[in-house]
Amino acid sequence: MFCTSCGSLVSETSTNCPVCGRGLSGAGGRRQSSSRSFNFARIFLAVLPLLMVTTLAGVGAQQWKEHRRERNAAYAQAEAALAAGDFDAAELGFGALGDYRDAGARRDEVQAAADPVRRALDAAMATFDAGDYATGVAMLEQVVQTAPGYAPAADQLASSRTAWIEQLTRDVASATANRDWLEAELELRQLTELLPADQHVATELAELVRNHAPIVFARDGAVFLDGPNGDQEDALTAPMGAVFPSWSPDRSSIAFISTTEGERRFNGTLMVLNGDGTDLRAVAYDVLPYSWPVWSPDGSRIAFTSVAAFDTETFMGDIALHVYDVATGEETDLTGGQLPHAAIPTWSPDGAQIAFVSNTIERRPGGGIDLRDGDVYVVPAAGGDVRNLTKNRIFDEWWVQWSPAGDRMLIFTAPGDWAAPAMSRLYLLALDSDELTEVPIDEWQTSLPLWSPDGTKIAYVTSGDTVNIWSDDGLQWIQLGAEVSSFASWSPDGRYVLAPPVDDAHPGYVVDVTDRFGTITPFELDFDSMRSSNGLPIWGSLTPPSPG
């Protein structure tokens, strides 16, 4: 210990300091105190490592719990990303968790689910980059629908749609400058589908349809196009006995029947060509050339009346409803063996069924046949049993057209007994209730009635000079002041009705049937009339558009 006076080191047993001689008072007490201090220090030093270990263990446990919470949260985020279809985030999230729980297996599951989507995305982009914008965008839309949370697909769809819109805009400008009105119309229709709220595009399309959208017709056996202004005539084929040309629903193709001199009464060839006159081809033979070939709503098939199983010498066999598949070239007989006669086909808006008229065949004693009263039937477009819709409730059915709305059929009668003539009658058949309702006409001279593209109106000509527009709200009509052909065709957008001229010495008229109803514009068009070669002008499609 140390002397409290001089600070010298002194033995524990001494009572006086050997240096200064001063007494070491309280030495025993200090020894006791120092001993206790020493013992406490020894104890503290002994316990200190344990305290440090305990403290560190507590800190480690806290850190471990926090780490576990973080990994649980990361796992949950990866699961949520997978549930939302965000494969990239899910794959990255599970991959970052290493061997935590089943993260490795979950990452493999994400990759397995993502690979088909990524391949589909790559295929869509390859199609788009190859210039097939419509198909590429449709494929991208399917990818987004399959994986709505997959951001790369959604981003690519948005950018591809923008690029397509820009390309279509350039194409419209180019086609318009070149007066290629059909191409301009088709491009504008695509633009309106991509930009349904763009009023400028809608107005541009409406003006083009009114002034330039091509009308297809036949003259001297050749197929022609002309605009409603009558100043852009274009021959698509050479003379080949063409009758009844009709537009496909998207107005990109035309079907017609080519007849051969001497066989015109019964036999024709179904022909198809592009709207610009290219790729003319024969697709079916032994076609009855008395009505239009009718496209399916999606443009993939054509329905027509076939005499392939009818002997034109003995007048025996079946006149049947056939369907030609544009993609496969396959021709299918839908009614042969079930009915002796089927004609005037019309497709349901979903393309699943075809309605038609089946007349009773009467054979003349000296040869030949007469078509008498029959009924309206329906048959599945893929084949199956026919079903009678009218069941002898009306007589002399001649024309049937399925409403584009899908809920009704328009049925028109044409009594053929000239010894006892009768007026034509117009009926509506409600498909849900099977109820027949007559639409009063009260005119002896009535044209074929046609549904508007939206299925809300019916147009027909009476007395040779009056265009009638019937709807559930009533009848509107306008007298033109000059005779026109007994036929009326709707514009592709349903805003106008075309009443073609009765001959090349008289004008035809375009009739506005919007809120400017009754506004008429004369035009000239030289075509084969129904009384000669059946080249009636068709402005829009005769078949309902595909729904949705």
- DSSP, collapsed to helix, strand or coil, labels residue 91 as helix
Per-residue pLDDT of the chain (548 residues; tens, 9 = 90+): 556 555 555 556 666 666 566 665 544 444 455 555 556 666 656 656 665 656 555 656 677 677 678 778 878 888 887 777 788 888 788 888 888 888 788 888 888 888 888 899 999 999 999 999 999 999 999 999 988 888 899 999 999 999 999 999 999 999 999 999 999 999 999 999 999 999 999 999 999 999 999 999 999 999 999 999 877 899 999 999 999 999 999 999 999 999 875 444 678 999 999 999 999 999 999 999 988 999 999 999 999 999 999 887 777 889 999 999 999 999 999 999 999 999 999 999 999 999 999 988 777 776 677 777 889 999 999 999 999 999 999 988 889 999 999 999 999 998 765 555 678 899 999 999 999 999 998 787 888 999 999 999 999 999 889 999 999 999 999 999 889 988 899 999 999 999 998 887 888 999 999 988 888 999 888 888 755 557 889 999 988 776 65
pLDDT score at 67: 67
What is the Cα–Cα distance from 538 to 526, expressed in whole angstroms? 13
Of 424, 447, 423, 438, the residue nearest 499 (C-alpha): 447
- DSSP, collapsed to helix, strand or coil, labels residue 10 as coil
Q: Determine the residue type at 502.
A: V
Q: How many residues does the chain have?
A: 548
User: What is the SS3 string spanning 319-344?
Assistant: EEEEEEECCCCCEEECCCCCCCECEE
pTM: 0.79
What is the Cα–Cα distance from 86 to 161, expressed in whole angstroms? 21
Backbone angles phi, psi at 437, to 5 degrees: -125, 130
Q: What are the contacts of 470-475 at 24+ separation with CB within 8 A?
A: 470/439
DSSP string, 201-230: HHHHHHHHHHHTPPEEEEETTEEEEE-TTS
The token duo for 12 is: 């524990």
Of 539, 536, 422, 426, the residue nearest 487 (C-alpha): 536
pLDDT score at 418: 53
pLDDT score at 38: 55
Do the beta carbons of residue 308 and residue 285 sit within 8 Å? Answer: yes
DSSP string, 402-420: E-TTSSEEEEEE----TTS
